[in-house]
Amino acid sequence: MKNFKDKVVVITGGATGIGKAMANRFGAESAKVIIAARREARLREAVKDLRDKGVDARYKVCDVSNLEDTKALADFAWAEFGQVDVLVNNAGIAGIPEMLLDSSRESYQRVFDVNVFGQLNGIWAFGNRMIAQGTPAMILNVISETGLFVAGPMMGGYAASKYAGRAISEVLRLEMPKHVQVGAIYPGGVQSELGGSKEMTQIGMPADEFIDIIWPQIENGEFHIVSHPWAKDYVVEDTAELTQAFDRYAPHFDGDRKYDSKWLAKQMVG
């Protein structure tokens, strides 16, 4: 999708950080923008800023971890503009840094409610309606490079949620009809309000620079949308380690096709 003029874009978590920078960019490309998050004051402020820049922007208070709220967001979007062309499932939280052995079901649940169920709720609330529209559409899931590799300890809940986000995006891409593109965005450190820690986020890439890198990938309908070069090195490193394990302990052998899950899935689905 190269031309966003008059396209309707819904961005969750769109009042701050990456979501706001995406709203700015879609708005600059003459899209109509709806941002959604929990804090009305921040939404109002962000919409005012977008409107000052000439963007047709609206907001809706929405907790993405709540399916009814997310369905109400979809109803709002279709009522306001009659269509939704792009959904950006961006809202997310960092969770608390903690060792796995010190963590709890509750701390994992909190992160999963927003990062995993928040994106699923977006897909459930918007997906079928976008398919039914029959026009080119796009669902972009903002995941993280932490869905590609684990940078260090103390981030179990966040990493698990982002690996889940990646899996959900992969499945969605297989299941969506051609006219609804799916994109998985893997930011590394980007300046934002994530985790409420200024020190942590201010050392990241400026959000506008990040958007400049991912924008052509969005326009080209890429599935893997990348930005931070070192992520590639760690993906390559992890893949090399895995490949080595296979080469050593589970190399190919005659007749092994019957154990190929991808091939088997194809036989079953047809």
Ligand X SMILES: NC(=O)c1ccc[n+]([C@@H]2O[C@H](COP(=O)([O-])OP(=O)(O)OC[C@H]3O[C@@H](n4cnc5c(N)ncnc54)[C@H](O)[C@@H]3O)[C@@H](O)[C@H]2O)c1
Residues 71, 123 contacting (CB under 8 angstroms): no
Task: List 87's β-bridge partners, or say none.
Answer: 10, 139
To the nearest whole angstrom, how small is the minimum distance from the Cβ of residue 212 to ligand X?
A: 16
Of residues 188-207, those binding ligand X (CB under 6 A): 189-190, 192-194, 201, 204
64 binds ligand X (CB under 6 A): yes
90 binds ligand X (CB under 6 A): yes
Phi and psi at residue 262, in whole multiples of 5°? -65, -45
Phi and psi at residue 221, in whole multiples of 5°? 65, 30
Burial (CB count within 10 angstroms: exposed 0-12, middle 13-18, buried 19+), residue 222: middle
Q: Which of 27, 92, 122, 157 binds ligand X (CB under 6 A)?
A: 92
To the nearest whole angstrom, how small is the minimum distance from the Cβ of residue 49 to ligand X?
A: 14
Residues 29, 53 contacting (CB under 8 angstroms): no
To the nearest whole angstrom, how small is the minimum distance from the Cβ of residue 13 to ligand X?
A: 3
Q: Which residues contact 80 (CB under 8 A, 6 or more apart)?
A: 34, 58
91 binds ligand X (CB under 6 A): yes
Query: Does the active-site annotation cover 108?
Result: no
Of residues 7-46, those binding ligand X (CB under 6 A): 12-13, 15-19, 37-39
Residues engaged in binding ligand X (CB under 6 A): 12-13, 15-19, 37-39, 62-65, 90-93, 114, 118, 142, 144, 187, 189-190, 192-194, 201, 204
Active site residues: 158
